[in-house]
Structure 1
Amino acid sequence: QIMKEAKKTEVIVGIEPTGHYWMNLANFLDHYGIPLVMVNPMHVKRSKELDDNLPTKNDKKDALVIARLLKDGRFSYPRLLKEVEAELRIGSTLRSKLTEDLASIKNRIIRWLDRYFPEFTQVFPAFGKMALATLEMTPLPQDIDGKSAEELVFLYRKVKGMRAPQLPKAKLLIEAATNSIGLTEGTQMARHEIATLLRQYRLLENEIESVNSQLSEMAQTTMEYELLASVPGLGDATIVDLLSEVGSFSLYENPRQLIKLAGLTLRENSSG
């Protein structure tokens, strides 16, 4: 409608990127062959005082500033991800978020242990299979008190995925439980809390494993995979993250374009 009123035959849409809100519009315009470009938010911020010397911010003023930046050619074309590239970007972001959530749950488990079984980490410095089995079957020191190491090992074998609990660890656990200074009040809800945290921990572990598997399979379908995999120290996880950010290497004409993506635009400073 605006094109008809202004008697124009071509249009270019410019935006200041705001989170994820522009993506739907970009795909809609792409479907109709209308180009969409982005201006740097910092350029908008620095340009808005040129007319009135006021740092005021409102939609009308911002739109005018963006339009002027477009007129001067100060914009860039966003790369709309499609097919495998889109899958890798979404999957990589999902994996990153799941990993953050797992770390958060782990911290909550450690906080729980600090209150109810602070000696636990002396026996199990990391959350391995036996550590998780112990928290599932005997989370509190009083659950261990009175049991032999052999009884504990037999008990932990019942946990799914726990095949061979270590007897020496069970003995250390008994000693730690006997001398524990953990809280002894509110244990009913404490048991419920640790059981809930363990379910969330295992669920996130399984989800991360599933996402990693799918991402590795997708990455292997790209023409860049074999090239990247030949570089010592680059595993599938790193390759996925790299491809999710930079996309196909065929999009670049010069290595400096990749360096710029990393924020390393090398320049000479030769002024006296």
Structure 2
Amino acid sequence: MKFNRNNAINQRIERITTQHAVVGIDIAKDVHAAQITDFRGRTLTSRHLSFSNTHEGFEKLLGWVQDVQAKKRLSSVLVGLEPTGHYWFNLANWLLKQGVEVVLVNPVTTHRNKENRDNSPSKNDPKDALVIADVVNHGLYTDYAPQEAVFERLKTVISDREFWVKQTTALGNRIVRWIDRYFPEFSSVFPDWTVPRSLASLRAFPMPSDLRNLSVDDVIEGWSKQGMKRAGGVRGRGKAAELLRAAARSIGDSQAPIEGKRDLQWLLEAYEQNVQRLQQMEQEIEELLDVLPMAEQLRSIKGLGTITIAVILGCAGDLGRYDHGRQLLRRAGLNLAECTSGKFKGQIKLSKRGDSTLRKYLYLGMLSLVRHHPDFKRWHGQNQKKGVTKQASVFKLIGKLARILIGMIQRGESYRSEVHVAA
């Protein structure tokens, strides 16, 4: 399972022949800019082409490229573009349908090469398009090949889930803020405000004033009206009495009770809707993973959660397309970056140039594995005995996990625990 990045770059350079027209496209929301060079980086047109982000604009681009090909007698086309936001998807997919090869250029690479031709930090769309073409000629690109539909669906659900998780967390923080302001004693009765009895209380008796002059039976009846099953009982009556005592001594703000109740009602409604969305998404994730054989292979690593597996396959795509675990680490921005010059030896850090969601869940997944999986727990302990810090050991084991995952997929095997084999 050998992998050499320099060899890969050389292969990408050699792929561009004397018969290639290399098209660099600077992506924007409404109007794109394109430049054409040959394999040596010589411009083949007197000026750039501006075209709209529409079907007519795409046809205009293709016609322009074909005219240049005919004039210069070039038989092949390679289009390079920056994956800027979401504006490039439609153009890239349309070009692929026309049989045109499309490659992607990292925006950081473009930024650092923009002074190569004119030794100037100036920036404009035509220049950026030319810089992109130059970068492609130097082999500093990655192929664009859309994943199978199931991987794209998984990636979409994961992206949506991340958005709604953030929204749910923000709403939860707002609800905690509301409790701290209007009913600060509520937290002593229900340390976890998300449990069913706590939510029923917030809906039925949001303000301390709503609980005054009520009895334990009144509180239990209010919980029952909120759809809570078995609202009474010894534990229920105890919690009701405790809630009444907390309300009696509350120091919460009572100057705007109507507005406060409305605010909490809206927050709770939005929070519960988001929780339902997340539950639906998790069900969809399970269904999508069930049709992926490699998901079952990843599940053989006990302690690697469903969401982590879904993120790995959604963000990294088909693991069978990777030759080595280092490629997966680079995809996540977990490859090491070092700054060394002469006698100066800089600190080695993570590059963090990759998919942040994939990086996040590989880290969280490893935290779970070093706690629960016997092999990773043992390796984690061995690293620390060698003087490796806990944090450094976690990232070192992420690299080991990446190699294990790619190796499992390449050989079509499930994980076999060393502890189990030894037993």
TM-score by length of 2: 0.61
Q: In the aligned structure 2, how far is the partner of 1:200 from the partner of 1:264?
A: 36
What is the match of residue 157 of structure 2? 91
Q: In the aligned structure 1, how far is the partner of 2:254 from the partner of 2:128?
A: 60
What is the match of residue 195 of structure 2? 128
1:1-272 equivalence runs, <5 A: 1-2=63-64, 3-7=66-70, 8-126=74-192, 127-160=194-227, 162-165=228-231, 166-265=236-335
DSSP 3-state at the match of 1:105: helix
- The runs of 4+ residues in structure 1 deviating greater than 3 Å are 264-269
Q: C-alpha displacement at 1:192, in angstroms?
A: 1.1
DSSP 3-state at the match of 2:172: helix
Change in 2 beyond 3 A, CA 1:52/1:4: closer
Query: Aligned letter for 1:59?
Result: D
Q: In the aligned structure 2, how far is the partner of 1:238 from the partner of 1:72?
A: 36
Query: More displaced, 9-18 or 101-110?
Result: 9-18
Q: In the aligned structure 1, how far is the partner of 2:138 from the partner of 2:301?
A: 42
Change in 2 beyond 3 A, CA 1:245/1:191: same
DSSP 3-state at the match of 2:142: coil
Query: More displaced, 202-211 or 253-262?
Result: 253-262
Q: In the aligned structure 1, how far is the partner of 2:83 from the partner of 2:149?
A: 22
DSSP 3-state at the match of 1:11: strand
Output the aligned Cα RMSD. 1.9
Query: Aligned letter for 2:103?
Result: V
Unaligned regions of 5+ residues in structure 2, if any? 1-62, 344-423
Q: In the aligned structure 2, how far is the partner of 1:202 from the partner of 1:238?
A: 24
Q: In the aligned structure 2, how far is the partner of 1:267 from the partner of 1:157?
A: 59
Change in 2 beyond 3 A, CA 1:138/1:11: same
Q: Which has the higher strand share?
A: 2
Q: In the aligned structure 2, how far is the partner of 1:43 from the partner of 1:112?
A: 47
Q: Deviations over 1:122-146 (max 9, x none)?
A: 1111111111100101100011111
Say if 2:69 and 2:75, in contact at 8 Å, map to a contact too.
no
Aligned length: 271
Say if 2:147 and 2:318, in contact at 8 Å, map to a contact too.
no
Q: In the aligned structure 1, how far is the partner of 2:186 from the partner of 2:247?
A: 8
DSSP 3-state at the match of 2:76: coil
Q: Deviations over 1:15-51 (max 9, x none)?
A: 1221111111111112112111111212211111123
Query: Aligned letter for 2:268?
Result: L
Q: In the aligned structure 1, how far is the partner of 2:157 from the partner of 2:301?
A: 23
Query: Aligned letter for 1:233?
Result: G
Change in 2 beyond 3 A, CA 1:197/1:267: closer
Q: C-alpha displacement at 1:267, in angstroms?
A: 8.5
Q: C-alpha displacement at 1:256, in angstroms?
A: 2.6
Unaligned regions of 5+ residues in structure 1, if any? none
Say if 2:158 and 2:310, in contact at 8 Å, map to a contact too.
yes
Query: Aligned letter for 1:242?
Result: I
Query: Aligned letter for 2:154?
Result: L
DSSP 3-state at the match of 2:266: helix
DSSP 3-state at the match of 1:30: helix
Q: In the aligned structure 2, how far is the partner of 1:265 from the partner of 1:185?
A: 55
